[in-house]
Structure 1
Amino acid sequence: MRPPNAPPTEAVSTATADDTEFRSLLDRLSDKATADYYNPFTTFDWPDSIPTDELWMSPELLSVHGTELMDELSPAQLRALSRWESVNFYSLNVHGIRELLIEVTRRVHTPGFELPSEFFHHFIGEENDHMWFFATFCLKYADKIYPDKSVKLPEPPRDPDIENFLVFARILIFEQIVDHYNVRLADDRRLHPTVRHINRLHHQDESRHIAFGCRLVHLLWKRLLARGLDEAARQGLRDYLGRYLTTSIESFYNPAVYRDAGLPDGFALRRRLLAHPARQPAHAKVLHKTTGFLHRIGVFDDRH
């Protein structure tokens, strides 16, 4: 929230209707972040353990859901899989948050980001809290954080405008995928209260971050178009983001998870599940908000 009587934030160029609307959104989101503030170090009452004979992940969100393997696994195997897929999900959050914190911190109070820099401080603080409570869950209840095995995409062109757009598009994609899981896990009464609490708090903060990210990504895209973005460059951005969506989804299929759950040949199982026709609609469901947004603002076309 801006201090009273503070001078208006300067835009990097002449103020536009977009800048005015963006400033208004940032003020509302900053006010909401202040009103919703909680201390994560006192908010959580961590139990000594979470029973391993209970579900830790909603069955509908498991990587085997919709396949014949879902019926072939015993209830005990499904519970074990739900435990380790839950730990994998929180591990992915730890690694994803670390990356976005690095990228956002690089841009706070730099030219071109004068308007959102104050909100960046809320964003950075909240994401640091998220990384702490996701890591705490993993270490306290599983004694590990799965290592980051994500595929590194080729570096985008050395163009600051394109790099900024792709950074915040990746952050938005990551947050929308995670939020799809948060909403469902928070509402699933089959899960332990601690699992539901973590996901509920994360969704509360992420709803603001996603509203911010959608607006910022749209503005950065419009600026790219305004300067003149040829079709080859546009296709390059579509391809890059398409690959990022694919690798993000594939990170939920972790051979180490299958090993820890006692399932044989995790790499073969990963390949089998990724190729299974029942999993494609599941992926589309996870990604529908993201792909819909990218189509709506004109980043994706009918081929995506």
Structure 2
Amino acid sequence: MARTGTAALHGDGQRHGHTTADEDVSQRLLDSAAVLSYDPAVEVDWAAPLDPAHYGLNPEWSTLYGTRLWREMTEEQRVTLTRHEVCSIMSTGIWFEMVLQQMILRDQYLKNHGNAEFRFALTEIADECRHSIMFARACEKMGTPAYRPNRPVAEAGRIFKSLASGELAYGGILVAEEVLDVMQRDWMRGEQVLPIVRATSRIHVVEESRHMKFARQEIRERLRAAGPLRRRTSATGVAIAAAVILTSMVNKGVYAAAGLDTERALAEVRASAHRRAMLRNSSAHLMAFLGEAGLLTRASSAVYQRLNML
């Protein structure tokens, strides 16, 4: 891949301009990874007992917080619910990290391995492997089931990882990373939150900040020569990916695990003004970037509004 402003062939079969500035961004991210990376196997105290009074996430991030049902729940139910919720979110993270690893590998297939972009892409994949193991181990420690996306979502992910390329692939990656990042920045500071969740959140926040910068840079790069039709199509595709990811984060099985009526819980989640506000707040930076990149169209905005992200 040339380190000039000339077009370079990428693995998705499209041509786009890869510049020295792009290469500089990747090199800075590589330098950051060399000095600020973690090994969850030693950074997390896996042997420490779980305090029965500690939540799985800040109560404000529970899907039921602020509802009538939340007020009726016992403290034990609240703790149980938040632990299952955080493990459902972690499980969704594992699923999507496996999707994004395959998309990045496909994108980097036969790329110039002398470039910093190639090396950072593989560094990101190595990070994601560690994160998936870390999340799986945390869920096992908390004693929750391995929550998985339902069959239609799983098949949609299979299609997305096989076909998505360019700004669509990196846009989907950014959506998942940005929303989770805002949540975890709160969890890692939560004094009521389990230390194991605080520690895994801190590791994920630090390392994912590089991944998000890489995704934004890739999106900008792929869209430099994009026309209006491609931008509109990609914007809609990213919005659809956001809908699949966001609606899969919390498995409905978490409510039964806390001894709640599932249908009532789901109804109260849908009606929760607090939940809608939290989703909008967690999506603010993402929406700002998509607008800047030209990926916030009328059609995609309608999807984000239905998701309470906008």
The answer to whether the 8 A contact 1:10-1:115 is kept is no
Q: Does 1:201 align with 2:197?
A: no
Q: What residue in structure 1 maps to residue 148 of structure 2?
A: 147
Task: Describe the superposition over 1:81-140 as per-residue Cα deviations: whole angstroms up to 9, x where unpaired.
Answer: 111111112111111111111111222243599662111121111111111111111123
Distance 1:60 1:143, change over 3 A: closer
Q: Which amino acid aligns with 2:266?
A: R
- 1-side partners of 2:201 and 2:2: how far apart? 36
In the TM superposition, what whole-angstrom CA distance separates every residue of 1:8-29 from its partner, at most 9, and x where no partner exists?
x634961799612111111111
Residue 178 of structure 1 deviates from its aligned partner by: 1.3
Match of 1:281 in 2: 277
| Equivalent in the alignment of 1:6 | none
The alignment's TM-score, normalised by the length of structure 2, stands at 0.83
Query: Could you tell me which residue of structure 1 aligns to residue 306 of structure 2?
Result: none
User: Percent identity at matched positions?
Assistant: 22
- Structure 2 distance, partners of 1:297, 1:229, is 12
For 1:259, the equivalent position in structure 2 comes to 256
Matched pairs, number: 287
User: What is the letter of the counterpart of residue 14 of structure 1?
Assistant: T
Q: CA deviation at 1:302?
A: 5.4
- 2:174 is equivalent to residue 172 of structure 1: yes
In 2, Cα distance between equivalents of 1:292 and 1:299: 10
User: Which residue type is aligned with residue 108 of structure 1?
Assistant: Q
Amino acid at match of 2:254: V
2 CA distance for matches of 1:139 and 1:281?
A: 31
Greater mean deviation of Cα atoms: 145-154 or 74-83: 145-154
Tell me which amino acid in the other structure corresponds to 1:249.
Answer: L
Match of 2:224, SS state, is: helix
Preserved contact between residue 55 and residue 82 of structure 1 (Cα < 8 Å): yes
Q: What residue number does 1:3 align with?
A: none
Distance 2:264 2:144 in 1: 26
Contact 1:63 1:252 in 2 (8 A): no
| Structure 2 SS opposite 1:280 | helix
Q: CA RMSD in A?
A: 2.7
Deviation at 1:294, TM superposition (A): 0.4
2:242 to 241, 245, 248: 245
Structure 2, unmatched stretches of 5+, are 8-15, 302-310
Pairing 1:300–2:296 present: yes
Deviation at 1:285?
Answer: 1.2
The CA distance in 2 between the partners of 1:122 and 1:188, in whole Å, is: 29
Shift of the alpha carbon at 1:45?
2.4
* Secondary structure at the counterpart of residue 145 of structure 1: coil
How far apart, CA to CA, are the structure 1 residues paired with 2:55 and 2:251? 18
Tell me the equivalent position of 2:119: 118
Structure 2 equivalent of residue 98 of structure 1: 98
Report what 2:222 is aligned to.
220
CA contact (8 A) 1:87 1:142 kept: no
In 2: Cα distance, 1:32 partner to 1:105 partner: 21
TM-superposed deviation, 1:253 = 3.6
What CA distance in whole angstroms lies between the structure 2 residues aligned with 1:105 and 1:297?
A: 24
Conserved 8 A contact 1:85-1:257:
yes
Show the counterpart of 1:41: 41
Tell me which moved more, 27-36 or 237-246. 237-246
TM-score between the two structures when normalised by the length of structure 1: 0.84
Q: Greater CA deviation, 31-40 or 178-187?
A: 31-40
SS of corresponding position for 1:242: helix
Q: Offset at 1:42?
A: 2.6
The answer to whether the 8 A contact 1:12-1:111 is kept is no
Q: Provide structure 1 residue ranges, at least 5 long, that are not aligned to the other structure.
A: 1-8
User: Are the equivalent residues in 1 in contact too, given 2:89–2:250 (CA < 8 A)?
Assistant: no
**1:112, 1:218 → 2: CA distance?**
20
